[in-house]
Amino acid sequence: MPFRFTELELPGVRLIEPRVASDARGFFMETYKQGDYAAAGLAAPFVQENHSRSVRGTLRGMHFQRPPRAQAKLVRCIAGEIFDVAVDIHPSSPTFGRWVGLTLSAENCRMLFIPSWCAHGFCVLSPCADVVYKTTAEYASELEGGIAWADPDVAIDWPVAEPILSDRDRQWPRLTALASAESVQV
């Protein structure tokens, strides 16, 4: 199999390591193969692909999209290096509010599968980073949501103290506010 799938601390969040064939010319790898992903329990019908470029210290997140168009994501960094994070935002989950994070880079070729019941975000560790991710639902602005990147109840150990944030990402509420309003239904 050209992929190694590793279940992380949050159920459904998977580290995916593709087999990379390298030689003097460069390298080749498969990044997605429906049959192999389905055999690993990741039968995700991807319908949209996004590409972002960000400078060192940029933090994008923590984002999610509500049903009926909740998005699972397959994330990879194709240039540079990022610290990628998933947070369980499903209120009835035993891991609600817990997070996992790992480094994705062009060099390590690792990918992260993030289920639709997770918020997602990343920060850039290199001078610049290009991130490409597939989603299982098309973007719907009316269904987008987020949680505060520095929510003390979630306590993500970000490797950047003063990130560069968008105005939108500065405004997201804490996870407890969302859960108490019952607005997180994934």
Annotated catalytic residue within 37, 90, 133, 139: 133
Domain boundaries, given as residue ranges, for the chain: 45-180
Tokens of 25: 């010319």
> How far apart, in whole angstroms, are the C-alpha atoms of residue 166 and residue 8?
29
Residues 6+ away with beta carbon under 8 Å from 100: 8, 9, 10, 13, 85, 86
Read off the pLDDT of residues 41-89 as tens digits, 9 standing for 90 and up. Answer: 998 899 999 999 999 999 999 999 999 999 999 999 999 999 999 999 9
Let me know if 51 is a catalytic residue. Answer: no
Read off the pLDDT of residues 3-22 as tens digits, 9 standing for 90 and up. Answer: 999 999 999 999 999 999 99
The H or E element that residue 36 is part of is helix 34-39
pTM: 0.94
Annotated catalytic residue within 32, 37, 63, 120: 63
Architecture of domain 45-180: Sandwich (2.60)
Let me know if 90 is a catalytic residue. Answer: no
For 4-35, b/e burial (b = at least 16 CB within 10 A) is ebeeeebebbbbbebeeeeeeeeeeeeebeee
> How far apart, in whole angstroms, are the C-alpha atoms of residue 138 and residue 88?
21
> How far apart, in whole angstroms, are the C-alpha atoms of residue 120 and residue 112?
10
